Amino acid sequence: MSSTSTVRAACPHDCPDTCAIRVTVQDGRAIKVQGDPNHPPTHGALCTKVSRYLERSYHAERVLHPLRRIGPKGSGRFERVSWDEALADIAARLKAIAARGPNAAQAIVPYSYAGTMGLLQGESMDRRFFHRLGASLLDRTICSSAGGEALAATYGAKIGMHLEHYAESRLIVIWGSNSITSNLHFWTFAQAAKRDGAKLVCIDPRKTETADKCHQHIALRPGTDGALALGLMHELIVNDWLDHDYIDRHTEGWPKLRERALQWPPERAAEICGITADEVRGLARDYGTTRPAAIRLNYGMQRVRGGGNAVRLIAILPCLVGAWRHRAGGLLLSSSGWFAVNRSALQRTDLLGTRKPRTINMSTIGDDLLREGSPDFGPKIEALVVYNSNPVAVAPQSPKVVQGFARENLFTVVLEHFMTDTADHADYVLPATTQLEHLDVHLSYGHTYAMINEPAIAPLGETKPNTQIFRELAARMGFDEPCFRDSDEDMARVAFARDVSFDELRANGWVKLPLADAPLADGRFPTPSGKCIIDSPVFGVPDHLPNYESASSTPELAERYPLAMISPPARNFLNSSFVNVKSLRDIEGEPLVEIHASDAALRGIVDGQMVRVFNDRGEYRCKAQLSSRARPGVVNGLGVWWRKLGPAGTNVNEVTHQRLTDIGRAPSFYDCLVDVRPL
């Protein structure tokens, strides 16, 4: 007899929406995924990508058993081995490195990001393993740390508005975010507000599908958001659109920033942003005179040298006009700080004891893999264990990253679902389960519900959850602390320090955090003084910092490479995930760069032609698309394709660089000069 059941799942992807999913399972096989209609942020809808989750999980190219490399690195030639053989050899290799001396294990580096956002499969047993081993620590900066640390330096934590309340806003400024692509469930609330008469403004160098649907699009130059924010402040001051009471009671340091902002008349800001002074004035008027006014900031605008300062400036705006007084006013960049994740219980940093391993920044992995050992750097990197990430495709300046991963004297283990560009460079590939096949618990960085993901089906083939792989590796290493025997459920039960109980998650699928409707209406920022910090003891008063690479900061470079390139996400991929899902790849077509007709004409480029996008760091080949989505002087190289699926085995990170942001040590992917020529 056939049996059908429905299982509660959570979307694991690195996206603010963290959707609640219902998986229909028939005779042990998942046959349908649907958005949960009862979960308010998801409201029954899944994005195009995740509605294809079954195509991804049951993909014919899933890695289903351990593999050992038999060809040169990067060739993708592997043979099947048993788990026993793989784990024994990996443990022996890691032990040999660690045995060389007291700090020798630092030559081993974990490399992971948010392939799954799950607290168990992303940051639990794995961290325990590396802490016990004494491996290098990893600074996980590749996405959001510039904006995240800037936000925390301003508000005291990564906190903001409730997603649902945007439906009641009268003005929504969508800033550095292509919501329809990367925050679809927010868009539903923004549309509800629009139907009720709210004005929507989009601030983005690219004329995105979101910009198309807003009342106004301000197409500023990449990396000039801080200047725009200062210009807005100038207008708020001179027109006295300030909430003096909120400023006096709930902020500290405003007089110094006020003085700075007064040096930014709209003309100055407009000149830097490449927009008109009237656009600055008009936006300031709207923002200064409309209540409630909400900003949806996203990480797209912080991937430049001054990204952290720009986030600080923008995050101060809602305090200046008292937008926080209303639940539909304020700002959201991330809500993750509202969740009381019990990281010390999950990750067990205490296993380090008195050891203080060095920290490797994931964003400079290209350079770091090529560095020799030195007193400054510590030991040369000899082993890398990669999971939940595809650095060969996504890390900046891939020519260096590839060279590093190709080192014959580097021992690399990759836990994966697929043979990615990174897995191709592994010595061992270990097959991991997908979200359908393991237990997890989740927070969200775009809403305020904790979520559960129950396993829907048995692991396919010989796949194992990341947690189990690290449990078994720990046993092989002889790590006998009881925490290495914790089950996934044991860890799920301690994942949240308060507000969220596992039993309630299990019973309901999610738990809404007990937060006030307008949590910052009376200030009470989680800072030492309870006030929003404008003059930071660490970072000072925020300012506009020009890009590393731009016509004004590096004129000689701009003469050779006159086009600014940004590389925002493609709608049907999730960073480099889903690029190998054929139905989604078919929608995206092929790697392309959007270029304005005037820039194309200057270079003799016609629509659809193959081009080289290049600078001193490398050369990326793709198709040119003449498009009004690109502003003159800026090209949009949509990301992030698998290198091996792109022309000449390259992707957009061929030309990005490894210089870090002002705050948060993050990459400045969108701070990049190139030229484009016909091939």
Ligand X SMILES: Nc1nc2c(c(=O)[nH]1)N[C@H]1C(S)=C(S)[C@@H](COP(=O)(O)OP(=O)(O)OC[C@H]3O[C@@H](n4cnc5c(=O)[nH]c(N)nc54)[C@H](O)[C@@H]3O)O[C@H]1N2
Q: Which is nearer to ligand X, 251 or 625 (CB)?
A: 625
- Residue 114 interacts with ligand X (CB under 6 A)? yes
In the list 89, 164, 416, 594, the residue contacting ligand X (rule: CB under 6 A) is 416
Q: Which is nearer to ligand X, 258 or 665 (CB)?
A: 665
In the list 57, 106, 124, 208, the residue contacting ligand X (rule: CB under 6 A) is 208
For residue 334, give Cα distances in angstroms to 29, 30, 473.
35, 32, 34
Helix (H, G, I), strand (E, B) or coil at 579: coil
Distance CA 408, CA 427 (A): 10
Residue 390 interacts with which of Mo ion, ligand X, none, CB < 5 to 8 Å by class: ligand X
| Cβ atoms of 573 and 344 closer than 8 Å | no
Q: What count of other Cβ atoms lies within 10 Å of the Cβ of residue 46?
A: 22
Residue 425 CB, nearest approach to ligand X (Å): 13
In the list 639, 641, 663, 665, the residue contacting ligand X (rule: CB under 6 A) is 639
For residue 577, give Cα distances in angstroms to 50, 183, 609.
11, 16, 26
- Residue 222 interacts with ligand X (CB under 6 A)? yes
Residue 307 CB, nearest approach to ligand X (Å): 8
For residue 557, give Cα distances in angstroms to 16, 307, 673.
36, 21, 8
* DSSP state at residue 634: E
Distance CA 313, CA 150 (A): 9
Return phi, psi of residue 428, to 5°: -130, 135
Residue 487 CB, nearest approach to ligand X (Å): 17
Residue 176 CB, nearest approach to ligand X (Å): 4
Q: Which is nearer to ligand X, 169 or 334 (CB)?
A: 334
Q: Which two tokens stand for residue 214?
A: 């807003």
- Residue 436 interacts with ligand X (CB under 6 A)? no
Residue 594 CB, nearest approach to ligand X (Å): 10
Stretch touching ligand X by CB under 6 A, among 132-140, 235-243, 296-304, 494-502: 296-304
Distance CA 636, CA 624 (A): 10
Q: Which two tokens stand for residue 622?
A: 């793709």
The pairs formed by 370-379 with CB atoms below 8 angstroms and a separation of 24 or more are 370/400, 370/403, 370/404, 370/407, 373/107, 378/103, 378/106, 378/136, 379/103, 379/104, 379/106, 379/107
Residue 562 CB, nearest approach to ligand X (Å): 17
Q: Which residue, 261, 220, 228, 224, is CA-closest to 242?
A: 261
Look up tokens 């890398």; give the residue.
Answer: 384
- Residue 567 interacts with ligand X (CB under 6 A)? yes
**132 to 171, contacts with Mo ion by CB under 5 A?**
143
| Cβ atoms of 564 and 633 closer than 8 Å | yes
Is-cis flag, bond preceding 292, omega within 30? yes
| Cβ atoms of 172 and 432 closer than 8 Å | no
In the list 415, 483, 532, 605, the residue contacting ligand X (rule: CB under 6 A) is 415
Residue 648 CB, nearest approach to ligand X (Å): 17
Residue 158 CB, nearest approach to ligand X (Å): 13
- Residue 432 interacts with ligand X (CB under 6 A)? yes
Residue 579 CB, nearest approach to ligand X (Å): 8
C-alpha Rg value of the chain to the nearest Å:
25
Residue 417 interacts with which of Mo ion, ligand X, none, CB < 5 to 8 Å by class: ligand X
Distance CA 606, CA 600 (A): 7
- Residue 670 interacts with ligand X (CB under 6 A)? yes
Element (H, E) at 343: helix 343-347
In the list 53, 78, 111, 113, the residue contacting ligand X (rule: CB under 6 A) is 113
In the list 200, 269, 304, 362, the residue contacting ligand X (rule: CB under 6 A) is 304
Q: Which is nearer to ligand X, 103 or 553 (CB)?
A: 553
> Going along 113-163, which residue ranges are E strands?
137-139
Q: What count of other Cβ atoms lies within 10 Å of the Cβ of residue 469?
A: 27
In the list 156, 160, 176, 509, the residue contacting ligand X (rule: CB under 6 A) is 176
Residue 206 interacts with which of Mo ion, ligand X, none, CB < 5 to 8 Å by class: ligand X
Residue 568 interacts with which of ligand X, Mo ion, none, CB < 5 to 8 Å by class: ligand X
Element (H, E) at 132: helix 125-133
Distance CA 536, CA 528 (A): 12
In the list 206, 327, 348, 531, the residue contacting ligand X (rule: CB under 6 A) is 206
Residue 182 CB, nearest approach to Mo ion (Å): 9
Q: Which is nearer to ligand X, 138 or 415 (CB)?
A: 415
In the list 130, 470, 484, 573, the residue contacting ligand X (rule: CB under 6 A) is 573
Q: How many residues lie near Mo ion (CB under 5 A)?
A: 1
- Residue 662 interacts with ligand X (CB under 6 A)? no
Q: How many residues lie near ligand X (CB under 6 A)?
A: 59
Stretch touching ligand X by CB under 6 A, among 61-69, 316-324, 383-391, 533-541: 383-391
**274 to 293, contacts with ligand X by CB under 6 A?**
none
| Cβ atoms of 364 and 468 closer than 8 Å | no
In the complex, the residues that contact Mo ion under the rule CB under 5 A are 143
In the complex, the residues that contact ligand X under the rule CB under 6 A are 14-15, 113-116, 121, 142-144, 175-178, 181-183, 203-206, 208, 222-223, 225, 298-301, 304, 387-390, 394, 415-418, 420, 432, 466, 566-569, 571, 573-577, 639-640, 652-653, 656, 669-670
